[in-house]
């Protein structure tokens, strides 16, 4: 039998991906992305990598001379380390589509929780206050009669938009390019979108071009009934400006699944009652994480058996087929 191909596998990686990689490859399990942890004789043997890429992975990528592919867990990917690998001719893959519906479900739950205070209402019941003090307060906010703007109408954004429509609300959106098939009102700037809606759902990727684009001016444009939901990436929102806008009631409330410096969430946010805070659980069910883990493994298997990656990140599409020699 031929020797199985060696693949870097982070300790504590997704269970489904781990089981598959251990079955189909020779895993080199690492606690941290530290080249020193790779036995010298293994460095030349390693041809693939399963990862959650971030800049800390760059030295390891550079230390593996025969690395051919990096299979990244998650649809969002760190631009710096991904482009570093791609620049060396190493394709990077991600896990699009399989998580769209789950993340959209979470986005709607986050929006509903934010406006209807369901977390605080449940806390009222569990704390014995319903019995002892009476009904929970009527919520000042509602989803009724809102107009929703989606910043990033891509795969997940469209799954969110379908749900918003089913709730009987109008959808507008902003992308860099209009999507003629989408059938929602397009805005060519985020400022124009924010001026037209009172509820903004961020599902754009965390890239240099989206960084801090949701700033004080955008929040102000949402108005005093304004609600911000961020299910995309923490870096898209200027968190300090958001905290000020919530504190001085420039906007009414926010629901956040992602933060600028995870897992560190500003104490100012935690102290506020007009926010709903989730620990980045957009796709976090056993079902959906399993599908993502399968796609991580499938990309590696396809690369080494068929010579092509299944879901390369867009910047890697040109190199997602193996050079024949």
Q: What are phi and psi of 317, to 5 degrees?
A: -60, -35
Question: Quick one: CA torsion of 244, 245, 248, 249, rounded to 10 degrees?
Answer: -160
Work out how close the CB of 85 gets to ligand NDP at its nearest, in angstroms, rounded to a whole number: 17
Q: Which helix (H) or strand (E) holds 51?
A: strand 46-51
By CB under 6 A, name the one of 79, 206, 266, 290 that touches ligand NDP: 206
8 A C-beta contact, residue 113 and residue 274? no
> Among residues 155 and 220, whose Cβ is nearest to ligand NDP?
155
Our CB check for ligand NDP shows the closer of 39 and 208 to be 208
Q: Judged by CB under 6 A, does residue 257 bind ligand NDP?
A: yes
Q: How far is Cα 85 from Cα 8, in angstroms, rounded to an integer?
A: 15
Peptide bond into 263 cis (omega under 30): yes
**Does the protein bind ligand NDP through residue 49 (CB under 6 A)?**
no
280 belongs to the catalytic site: yes
126 in catalytic set: no
**Number of residue whose CB is nearest ligand NDP:** 154
Catalytic residue among 155, 280, 321, 322: 280
Q: Which among 80, 262, 273, 317 is annotated as catalytic? A: 262
Active site residue 264: no
Alpha carbons 26 and 152: distance in angstroms, whole number = 39
The distance in angstroms from the start CA to the end CA of the chain is: 23
Rule CB under 6 A: say whether 290 interacts with ligand NDP.
no
Name residues contacting ligand NDP, limited to 64-103 (CB under 6 A).
75-76, 96, 99, 103
**Coil, helix or strand at residue 208:** coil
Residues that bind ligand NDP (CB under 6 A): 75-76, 96, 99, 103, 152-157, 174-177, 203-207, 209-210, 231-233, 257-258, 280, 282-283
């Amino acid at each position: 039998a031929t020797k199985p191909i060696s693949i870097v596998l982070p300790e504590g990686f997704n269970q489904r991906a781990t089981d598959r990689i251990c079955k189909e490859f020779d895993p080199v399990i690492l606690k941290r992305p530290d080249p020193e942890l790779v036995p010298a004789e293994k460095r030349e043997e390693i041809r693939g990598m399963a990862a959650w890429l971030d800049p800390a992975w760059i030295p390891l990528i550079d230390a593996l001379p025969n690395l051919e592919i990096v299979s990244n867990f998650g649809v969002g990917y760190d631009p710096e380390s991904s482009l570093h690998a791609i620049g060396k001719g190493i394709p990077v893959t991600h896990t699009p589509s399989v998580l769209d519906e789950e993340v959209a479900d979470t986005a709607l739950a986050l929006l509903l929780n934010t406006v209807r205070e369901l977390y605080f209402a449940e806390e009222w019941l569990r704390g014995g206050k319903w019995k002892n003090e009476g009904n929970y307060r009527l919520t000042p906010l509602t989803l009724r009669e809102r107009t929703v703007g989606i910043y990033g109408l891509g795969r997940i954004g469209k799954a969110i938009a379908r749900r918003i429509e089913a709730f009987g609300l109008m959808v507008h959106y902003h992308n860099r390019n209009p999507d003629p098939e989408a059938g929602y009102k397009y805005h060519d700037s985020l400022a124009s979108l924010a001026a037209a809606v009172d509820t903004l759902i961020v599902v754009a990727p965390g890239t240099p071009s989206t960084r801090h684009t949701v700033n004080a001016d955008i929040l102000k444009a949402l108005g005093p009934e304004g609600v911000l939901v961020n299910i995309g990436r923490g870096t898209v929102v200027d968190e300090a400006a958001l905290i000020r806008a919530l504190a001085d009631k420039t906007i009414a409330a926010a629901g956040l699944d992602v933060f600028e410096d995870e897992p560190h969430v500003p104490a100012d946010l935690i102290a506020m009652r007009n926010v709903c805070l989730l620990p980045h659980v957009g796709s976090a069910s056993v079902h959906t994480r399993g599908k993502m883990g399968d796609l991580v493994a499938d990309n590696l298997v396809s690369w080494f058996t068929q010579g092509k990656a299944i879901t390369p990140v867009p910047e890697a599409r040109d190199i997602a087929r193996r050079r024949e020699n």
